[in-house]
Structure 1
Amino acid sequence: MIVEDDPAVRTVVGDHLRAAGHRVEPFAAGDAAWEAMRTRLPDVIVLDRMLPRLSGDELCRRVRGISDVPILMLTALGTVDHRIEGLEHGADDYLPKPFSLRELQLRLEALLRRRLPDAAPVAFTAGAFRVDPAHRRLRIGDREIALTSREYELFLFLLGREGQVVRRDEILREVWGWSEGDASTVTVHVRRLREKIEPDPTTPRFLRTEWGAGYRLETGDAASTRRAQPPQTARPTPPSRSSGPTC
């Protein structure tokens, strides 16, 4: 789904993605897109922030209330503060205008690969957590944790390196597939993940900050050294900054 009020951008992006083999549903306004999503959700959403009648930020918040469908914000608001705002509203990725059509395509396909895995691995327990990869669900005891696609991938990545200190640039490279980028993206997602999995986010028990070094995930099961490991997720193809037309 493309939600973009600029007809030129909407047409060019739609044509490019169709040529790459994707089915595209374009919308010029946020309220029309929301009405459509109330009956059928897309696999991934390209969302402008500045939309008529219903803003992209509000639409993103509404979608997050019903689904973890991946959302990529595509907008002229490209400062660091704007990117952080978009991520805090629930976006999984953020691409400022002007942008490369090829980069947009690669980022969307990376989101889709994580959303639609080829295999359905079995559920496993890691300390206090129960992970169900087939349905992309996370539980703590009887409580299901509602994670976005990016938050789920971040948790799995940190779980695969449990007990290790992981740098923000490494997380950005392995989870986002970016060889370079704004590390505050990681900070925002870690904060959102912590708010969902921690009994008290101000005093983290599981996801801790190692100041000046990175982050460390501990599941509360340090005594178990041979428990089932999380499935290895495919590393997204880093977006090319030099190929493809720009929009």
Structure 2
Amino acid sequence: METSSTESRPPALARILMVEDEPKLAAVVGDYLRAGGYESSWVADGREAIPAIKAQQPDLVLLDLMLPGRDGLDICRELRSFSDIPIIMLTARVEEIDRLLGLELGADDYICKPFSPREVVARVKAILRRARSGNEPSSNTALRIDEATHSAVFHNLPLELTPVEFRLLKTLAANPGRVFSRDRLLDNLYLDHRVVTDRTVDSHIKNLRRKLEQAAPGQDPIRSIYGVGYKLEIE
């Protein structure tokens, strides 16, 4: 395991662990992360990832999909069994199933190779900002959700939502910026676990978007991720 020297950096800075078997790529991204004000460390073998995470307690993990010793999806699965540390997956395999499976296992985002190191730093910054703000949608000034009263307000205007639309919005808002597959959203929509097609989600998303647009014309905080699902982005 190779770890960058961070002795001179203040302990308050966010710590990023990169699990990547390409030394040159890891070195370049590490340099950009440090220039962006983060502490950066690196392991190259998948078998070293979980021990390094437990020892270092990083604030975010950049996790390559294809690794020697142990693949990234397996690492992601184990990590999610004991920690909610944000995970950004790095992959050169762009097949839809890999993206979806990575997100279903609990990854917060993915970046496809080849990528710009600046993009990595930008994604890291965005994920950490959301993590620091917590998972309570009521803290967002634009969108406020009150589960006790089953009500939602967007830009100070109440939303007239059906029970399914309310659960859909609550699920997306609980993890802003995180991509949810249609199957994952369906699991949260119907309390009686009825059998419906995944395209049912698209219909509810369309209706929810219309109501958000009515409350704040010109704004569409729900993002469609082609081949994967949906996420909510509200600044």
* TM-score band, normalised by shorter chain: 0.5 to 0.7
| Deviation at residue 103 of structure 1 after TM alignment | 1.4
Contact 2:65 2:72 in 1 (8 A): yes
SS of the aligned residue for 1:62 comes to helix
> Of 127, 134, 142, which aligns to 1:111?
127
CA distance in 2, matches of 1:201, 1:108: 36
- The structure that has the greater radius of gyration is 2
SS of the aligned residue for 2:184 comes to helix
Residue 196 and residue 43 in structure 1: after superposition, are their counterparts in 2 closer, same or farther (change >3 A)?
Answer: farther
In structure 1, the residue matched to 2:69 is 53
Q: Map 1:155-166; keep pairs closer than 5 Å.
A: 163=161
Q: Map 1:120-135; keep pairs closer than 5 Å.
A: 125-127=146-148
Amino acid at match of 1:214: K
In structure 2, the residue matched to 1:134 is none
CA distance in 1, matches of 2:116, 2:26: 14
1:7 aligns with 2:23: yes
| Deviation at residue 31 of structure 1 after TM alignment | 1.8
CA distance in 1, matches of 2:22, 2:208: 43
> Structure 2: where are the runs of 5+ without partners?
1-16, 140-144, 151-157, 210-232
| Deviation at residue 82 of structure 1 after TM alignment | 2.4
CA distance in 2, matches of 1:5, 1:109: 23
Residue 73 and residue 15 in structure 1: after superposition, are their counterparts in 2 closer, same or farther (change >3 A)?
Answer: same
CA distance in 2, matches of 1:214, 1:84: 22
**TM-score normalised by length of structure 2:** 0.60
% identical equivalent positions:
35
Amino acid at match of 2:161: G
> Structure 1: where are the runs of 5+ without partners?
130-159, 178-184, 218-232, 236-247
Contact 1:5 1:51 in 2 (8 A): yes
Residue 213 and residue 196 in structure 1: after superposition, are their counterparts in 2 closer, same or farther (change >3 A)?
Answer: closer
In structure 2, the residue matched to 1:191 is 183
CA distance in 1, matches of 2:69, 2:192: 37
Q: Map 1:68-147; keep pairs closer than 5 Å.
A: 68-117=84-133, 125-127=146-148
Contact 1:30 1:56 in 2 (8 A): yes
Amino acid at match of 2:88: L
Larger displacement relative to structure 2 (37-46 or 3-12): 37-46
1:37 aligns with 2:53: yes
Residue 210 and residue 79 in structure 1: after superposition, are their counterparts in 2 closer, same or farther (change >3 A)?
Answer: closer
Residue 203 and residue 65 in structure 1: after superposition, are their counterparts in 2 closer, same or farther (change >3 A)?
Answer: same
| Deviation at residue 40 of structure 1 after TM alignment | 4.3
Once the two structures are superposed, residues 122-178 of structure 1 have per-residue CA deviations (whole angstroms, 9 ceiling, x without a partner) of 8x851488xxxxxxxxxxxxxxxxxxxxxxxxxxxxxx96727699xxx8xxx449x
| Deviation at residue 70 of structure 1 after TM alignment | 1.1
Pairwise CA RMSD: 3.8
**TM-score normalised by length of structure 1:** 0.57
1:214 aligns with 2:235: no
| Deviation at residue 94 of structure 1 after TM alignment | 1.0
SS of the aligned residue for 1:2 comes to strand
